[in-house]
Structures are given as structure tokens and as C-alpha cells.
Amino acid sequence: MVRVIQISDTHLSPSKQHFEANWAPLAHWIAQHKPDLVIHTGDVTIDGADQEADGAYCATQLASLGVPVLAVPGNHDVGEVGNPHQPVNDERLDRFRGHFGDDRWLRDVEGWRLIGLNSMIFGGGPEEALQTQWLETAMADAAGRRIAWFMHRPLFIESPTEADTGYWSVKPEPRRALLDLLHRYRVKIVASGHLHRWHEIRLNGTHYVWGPAASFLVGEKLAPPMGGTARLGAVIYDIDGESIEVNIRPVAGLTDYWIDDVVHEVYPPREAEA
């Protein structure tokens, strides 16, 4: 049996320590549950997209867990397509890769193929085309393995056919192409972060897992109503051959910080980039 733990949205920084107190209990909980692999589904940093020190600090923290860690980038780690303040670009992607390794990856574990995707480039640019090509190959040569995707932004909030939800989920056009691939290869699990909510959706044979954050919650002033609950935690995947058991779990000792209380300090308004 192989145990994978998904953690998400730790939002750590040496200069903005608003959520720092949640790291030690999370690390302790991970050690207690003895995973073979930890997957971080993004927003590792407060602002790794622009602050070299944030990436360096978080890479050290992840390494201190003493188990293999794979990460995919969140919007705060590399920016995102179409964001006027922090567009994802080569410099930001290189910074992420320098600290955390490839922004897309695959690992074969028991009867499963785990695939990490960079959801911050969905919807544009040459990097997206490269990733799509890579993903199609990764799916085609899975050789009968069951497939799980890990990404920061969820494919959708309520329905695969919903309109653009703005900041919250993948845009309709890249979503359609991904869902087409997902159906063709019968992807069993799509695990995401970003929403800082605890939720599961089972639809047409796919289990969508919203991995809760391990930093802060988002109040109603900053986020529209959506599924699941505002609750911190992490996810345990116990994989045995072709079977998998998925459990979203609370993490003892985490403090329920609310971003609404400190957003002016942590994420003050920014100038648009030229």
C-alpha cells in the first residue's frame, strides 16, 4: 500500500508570517500519518510569483518534511494567464521550477498514474501547448493504469458546463478540452486546491476532490457562495493496487484564520504590469 497526502494553499512567506503558525501542526500531522509522498496543490507561497525569498523559504519548509514532495503551482506561486497584475511568464515559471521542481510531473504508484498539472497556464501561451502535448502522451501511455490529476484551480465549481466563473475555476474553453481528455481516458480523480474549501463531487465516474487549505479560510465578502465548507485540513489517499481510499481530514492544531481580516496586509492592491 502506498499513502499519498495532499496538502494545499499553505501561503507561507518569511516576510508575511500571518499563517506561519499553521505550518508546525501541519508538519506534525504529516509525520504522524507517515505518507510515502506528499503532493502540494499550489499556493505554497504568499507571493512566490514575485518574491524570490518566498520560494526559497517554502522549499526549505517542504524539504524539512523528510518525505518526497511534489508541487504544482498556484496563482500566488507563478501568476496566471490573463492577470494584469501578475501574468504567468517564463521568469515566474523558472523561479517556481528552481525552488520546487517541474510544474508538471507524473508518478506511477501501484496501479495508478498520478499526474500533476500547471493549471495557471490553462488558456494561453506556448507553455500551455507544450503541457497539452505532454499530457496527451502521459495519458496515452498510461498502460491501463488508473489516472488521477492534481492541479491548483478546479475545473469547475458546480457544473462542467457552467460559464466563466472568473477567478475561481478553469475557463470554459480550456476546461472543455481537458474534460474531453478526462472522459476519453476515464480519469478517476481530479484533486485541486485554490478554493480553500473542503468538498467532494462525484460525477460520471470521476471523483473531484477539493483539497482544503492549511492556511486560511475565505469569507463571504471575498468569495461567492459555493459548494463544500470553509474548513482547513488535508487529504489522505491510500492506494492499494487499483483501489484508492480518499479521506479529507481535519488537521489538529490548525487555527482558523480568515483572509478577510488581513487581506489589506497580505494581498494589498497592485499596479497593473506593462
Q: To the nearest whole angstrom, how small is the minimum distance from the Cβ of residue 36 to Fe ion?
A: 25
Considering beta carbons, is residue 51 or 75 the nearer one to Fe ion? 75
Shortest gap between Cβ of 54 and Fe ion (angstroms)?
A: 13
Q: How far is the CB of 180 from Fe ion (least distance, A)?
A: 25
For Fe ion, the closer CB: 45 or 206: 45
Closer CB to Fe ion, 40 or 194, in the complex:
194
Closest approach of Fe ion to the CB of residue 83, in Å: 11
Q: Rounded to the nearest whole angstrom, what is the least distance from the CB of residue 110 to Fe ion in the complex?
A: 30
Tell me whether residue 66 or residue 82 sits nearer to Fe ion (CB atom). 82
Closer CB to Fe ion, residue 138 or residue 212? Answer: 212
Closest distance of CB 139 from Fe ion, Å: 25
Closer by beta carbon to Fe ion, 113 or else 194: 194
Report the C-alpha dihedral over residues 87, 88, 89, 92, rounded to 10 degrees: 110
Sites of contact with Fe ion (CB under 5 A): 9, 43, 74-75, 194
Listing DSSP states for the chain in one string gives -EEEEEE----B-SS--TTGGGHHHHHHHHHHH--SEEEE-S--BSSTTT-HHHHHHHHHHHHTT-S-EEE---HHHH-BTT-SSSB--HHHHHHHHHHH--SSEEEEETTEEEEE--GGGTTSSHHHHHHHHHHHHHHHTSTT-EEEEE-SS-S-SS-TT----TTSS--HHHHHHHHHHHHHTT--EEEE-SS--BEEEEETTEEEEEPPPSSEE--TTTS---SSB----EEEEEEETTEEEEEEE--TT---EEHHHHHHHHS---PPP-
Q: Give phi and psi for 90, each to the nearest 5.
A: -60, -40
